[in-house]
Amino acid sequence: MSETRMVYEEAEEMVMLLHTGAEQLMDTMEAMQRIAEQLDNGALLGDGGEAFSSALRQRLAPAIQRLAEKLKERSDYVQTEVYDMKQAEQASRNLF
């Protein structure tokens, strides 16, 4: 018979780390958006400034957003698995 075990403390720490990582990415994206706005307001003029601002907004921002969403998704998944495992253990204890 196969036995599956979960170390809850480690799984809950993983949930926290994934969630924190997602929040940090969102903070980074907000800072990056502020930088792009400064560039648009004349901090870096010319084609180079426009290209850099455009790259921040059109390439980097969406990539950071997707990564943050994936970290949040994984955090929610692990949290659900922890809950389901605890419920299954409790249900099996109640059988005896």
Read off the pTM: 0.81
Backbone φ and ψ of 44, nearest 5°: -140, 105
The pLDDT score that the predictor gives to residue 49 is: 86
Q: Which of 88, 65, 73, 93 is nearest to 8 (CA)?
A: 88
Residue extents of the structural domains in the chain? 23-89
**Amino acid at site 25:** L
The pLDDT score that the predictor gives to residue 2 is: 65
For residues 41 and 48, give the distance between their C-alpha atoms in angstroms, rounded to a whole number: 14
> Confidence class of residue 6 from pLDDT cuts 50, 70 and 90?
confident
CA torsion, ordered 10, 12, 88, 73, to nearest 10 deg? -120
Q: Give 22-58 pLDDT, tens digit per residue.
A: 999 999 999 999 999 998 888 888 888 899 999 999 9
Q: Give 55-82 pLDDT, tens digit per residue.
A: 999 999 999 999 999 999 999 999 999 9
